[in-house]
Amino acid sequence: MINHYTSIQSGMVLQSDLAGEFPVYIYWANDKQSLLYSKSITELLNDSRVPKPLKVSSEGISFLLQSGVVPPPKTAYEDIYIVSIGDTAVVKTFNGNIEVEFKHQFPFMNANRLKPDEMTPDEDFILEMLAESTISRIDESRSSFLFHSAGKDSNTLALALAEAGWQDKVTLITHKSKGVADESEISAKIAQQLGFKHQVLHEVDQLQNEHKLAIESYFVQAPFPLTDNVTLAYPLYSQQIPELIGANIIDGGGNDSYMVTPPNARDLKVLPLSKWTQYLSFMRNFTKSESLLNPLMRSPAEWCGMSGLTYADAKKFYPRVVNVYLHWKEESALRNDWGLFDFKTSILTSVTASELHIRKARNFADSVSANMVLPFANEWLASYFSNIQEQYLFDRKTLKNKLILRKILKDRIDLDSDALGKMGFTYDTRGLVLQNWDWMNSEILGCTLWDQPGLVNVILRMKKRMSGHGWGAGAAGRFLYRIYLISAWHNHNMFLK
């Protein structure tokens, strides 16, 4: 549904639900005479009142290159905005023009939780809420798939659906990673234990013609450019399991904002130190992206899941680039007196998790006309957990999180998350770039966003470094992959045509 605000109206306030299950997408016309908004980005971008081709935002591309993510309400497009977790858009008419003031207030500060003796979480009720939050969003005329792993979120979802008797209506699917991080065997055992069907998704190293066609189709349809390392895995999933197209896709993301993302051991050292090392930011003007100095120049906010090319490299091939450091310096300063738990959670979940990690699932769902289901982002569930005392959610000494989910899984299906540790989802992007270089390189060189002489200089240097060893080799591979992702989106996306 598209809503229309015109300059003859008096004013209104737009905001998303509490945990950003349904962000509000805004088109604010350049002439400031009309404003469209919707909970569906595809409906908004396809609306005839939104002029096409859309214009690329130089600031948005600058963030993608240097940070890997565009912080809301900004996007990679001019005139298109996102209102998500903690965001508010105050819309007013002034002198006949529509004006929008964007504000942000993180809604899940730990100081606002109930006191230790005021509430005892009900585990049965939590599972019932999760099941209801999932089932209420499912279109039963479609097939349903849950992205599953050995982790706490997807397993709690699987358990909730199993206890609700939905084993025959949902299939668990798992990505098979290379090496010790692979979770597919654990996932298969849990699926069997709970009574679900299970399918494994495989990495593809050497892309064949059918894979390239699936990837190109993804870039045509995906609403936003994305730099997440596993971006290309998703269109290859639909090539392996065609039933994903148009299906209900259930994802376990969306709870880190209200369950807290604790700092890790590195963060305890680096975040306080980065308040001082960020003043090396002037070195971004001449340092190579794959240099070990690059991470040292991050502001505290940028340690919350962000990384990217240096300003020096970005301006060599993108003349319209702006230095994004000042934005992150300001975001860090606004939280200067916050504790590390609130600091990291507020930035990582409202920016990196929302517009990088969860956005990759949203983007994929939109590209294949699927129904995205994010049960943990449900407002009812988020409101409940936002009141739960921290003793049930995280430990400030051990830095463990989601304690109540760990307990539920250990007690009910004997899944010991403490023993498993953090496995994660790995994807060999460096190998993908090396084995498909000619194809990716042609996309990069064919992109009209970039200045060709500077581009060739940067990618040849990174290609050579990528073939070596150490941190710099991996960084060079990731950054080449990022330049490819942005280039392919710009070359093929339907909204830019």
Pairwise CA distance, residues 26 & 98, whole Å? 13
**Residue with token string 């259930």:** 250
Q: Give the three-class secondary structure for 102.
A: strand
Pairwise CA distance, residues 197 & 172, whole Å? 6
Helix ranges (DSSP H) in 149-264: 152-163, 184-194, 209-221, 233-240, 256-259
Pairwise CA distance, residues 379 & 313, whole Å? 42
Half-sphere exposure of 469 (CA within 13 A, CB side): 0
Identity (one letter) of the amino acid at 148? H
CA 80 to chain centre: 18
Contacts 24+ apart (CB under 8 A), 279-283: 281/325, 281/329
Domain positions in the chain: 3-104, 110-259+346-420
The CA-based dihedral angle spanning residues 38, 41, 47, 49, taken in that order and rounded to the nearest 10 degrees: 70
Q: What is the pLDDT of residue 116?
A: 86
Residue 473 near residue 331, CB atoms below 8 Å: no
Pairwise CA distance, residues 101 & 106, whole Å? 17
For domain 3-104, give the CATH number.
3.60.20.10
Query: Could you read off the pLDDT of 186-207 as tens digits, one per residue?
Result: 899 999 999 999 999 988 888 9
> Could you give phi then psi for residue 94, rounded to 5 degrees?
-135, 120
Full-model pTM: 0.95
Q: What is the pLDDT of residue 425?
A: 62
What parts of the chain have a pLDDT lower than 70? 179-181, 420-426
For domain 110-259+346-420, give the CATH number.
3.40.50.620
Q: In what order do the strands lie in the sheet with 11-14?
A: 11-14, 87-94, 97-104
Q: What is the pLDDT of residue 211?
A: 94
Which H or E element spans position 26?
strand 24-28
**Which residues touch 397 (CB under 8 Å, ≥6 apart)?**
none
Residue 44 near residue 25, CB atoms below 8 Å: yes
Pairwise CA distance, residues 254 & 257, whole Å? 7
> Could you give phi then psi for residue 201, rounded to 5 degrees?
-105, 135
**Residue with token string 């190998």:** 431
Residue 100 near residue 111, CB atoms below 8 Å: no
Half-sphere exposure of 153 (CA within 13 A, CB side): 20
**Which residues touch 208 (CB under 8 Å, ≥6 apart)?**
none
∠ CA 143-144-146, nearest 5°, is 155
Residue 122 near residue 58, CB atoms below 8 Å: no
Q: What is the pLDDT of residue 204?
A: 86
**Which residues touch 262 (CB under 8 Å, ≥6 apart)?**
341, 344, 394, 395, 396, 399, 400, 401
Residue 368 near residue 299, CB atoms below 8 Å: no
Asked, as a colleague might, if the bond just before 242 is cis with ω within 30 of 0, I would say no
End-to-end CA distance of the chain: 24
3-state secondary structure 75-92: CCECCEEEECCCEEEEEE
Pairwise CA distance, residues 184 & 217, whole Å? 27
Q: What is the pLDDT of residue 452?
A: 92
Pairwise CA distance, residues 325 & 66, whole Å? 9
